[in-house]
Structure 1
């Protein structure tokens, strides 16, 4: 039977920052590596290492100032990479529309589907009867996939052409049969982006108007980013709606 899969977001890499060796610039780190890199890049433009303006003397105040004036290009220097599991392929397609992010996704063509894990939409998951119906439909799709795959592997020509051709035939059969699999099929992927891009993604997808699955993903990513860059993402606040789901908003980011 199809197995429901929850979304799991793991931060697997993020920017580290080291002051230039052999250079006494007078710059003092007072925040995380990622936040410090944003400030260092900005101060490099004017070499204001000694923080002459008391209003932007702390890292937190400096980053808030660049948000206020819109100097967000500085946020392109630090990056973060996530490994995401339990995401539906339908949601993954929406995620990949954010083309300034970089993705490496599990291949259905090369990876056997011995079992089928699926992501049950939140509205369906609230109702056991609907959930059972949904999982039954996924089972039918999986059984049909297996039948198609078996038949295609037998029908594909060139059976005596060697091991490499046999592997190619398997891939060709799989890529044809996979068309029947539902968009709820679970996928796994790696996603990398700079902070400016992540802020744009969160601003668009962590809102009430966004689909619940991608909204949940955006907020999970935001919480991880706030742990490594509290000032670069500290302007976002997460609140709970009446239905129990969450949204994230910032005075410096819009949905557009």
Structure 2
């Protein structure tokens, strides 16, 4: 996964930091995340997104994201024993065969998995970005979007520490975990991680 901060603007106006957050915008390019991850990202609606098309871009031998939990794992079905990589290869062959028989790419893509890698450009206001980072840097967030959010935060702290130095998961920012019984139980470790990011 590659995360690039493409651009940001900070208007030269004399207002409080909390008000300024509404008027600052950040544009990121993220490449090599799964479609499953991008589906989580676009749930943050106050933003603009441009995502790589599966309608026009050929997905022959498509790249994909493989969770560590699927490494060296196999499933048994009535058709045989398969690894995750073998399933991805099979789906790529099915997709390619459909396209070769004249099925439009926009229809053949229906066999593609959420694991397909994608590229997405998005722009968020400072306020929405901080909200996104509070939620998605939490240990309870799904691993892939958390990894992306942490990389984004690291870039932001390098460029704009005055705005993002104290940003991270809710437990880091407020000292209180909002997850209740679903807490990761590692607040000290989390706070230490974000203090040293």
Q: Does residue 1:182 correspond to 2:176, yes or no?
A: no
TM-score by length of 1: 0.61
Aligned residues: 172
- Note the aligned Cα RMSD (angstroms): 2.5
What is aligned with 1:148?
98
Distance change >3 Å, CA 76–CA 235, structure 1 → 2: same
Per-residue deviation, residues 79-102 of structure 1 (Å, max 9, x unmatched): 111111011001101100000121
Structure 1 runs of 4+ off > 3 angstroms?
A: 127-130, 252-256
CA distance in 1, matches of 2:121, 2:177: 26
The answer to whether 1:11 aligns with 2:5 is yes
* Bigger Rg, structure 1 or 2: 1
Unaligned stretches of 5+ residues in structure 2: 75-81, 180-197
Whole-Å Cα distance in 2 between the matches of residues 205 and 87 of structure 1? 15
SS in structure 1 of the partner of residue 15 of structure 2: helix
CA distance in 2: counterparts of 1:81 and 1:188, whole angstroms: 13
Q: Give the Cα–Cα distance (whole angstroms) in 2 for the partners of residues 78 and 94 of structure 1.
A: 23
| 1:27 corresponding residue in structure 2 | none
* Cα displacement (A) at 1:223: 0.9
User: CA separation of 1:15/1:254 partners in 2, compared to 1, >3 Å: closer, same or farther?
Assistant: farther
Give the unaligned 5+ runs of structure 1.
1-6, 19-36, 43-62, 64-71, 154-172, 239-246
* TM-score of the two chains, using structure 2 as the length reference: 0.78
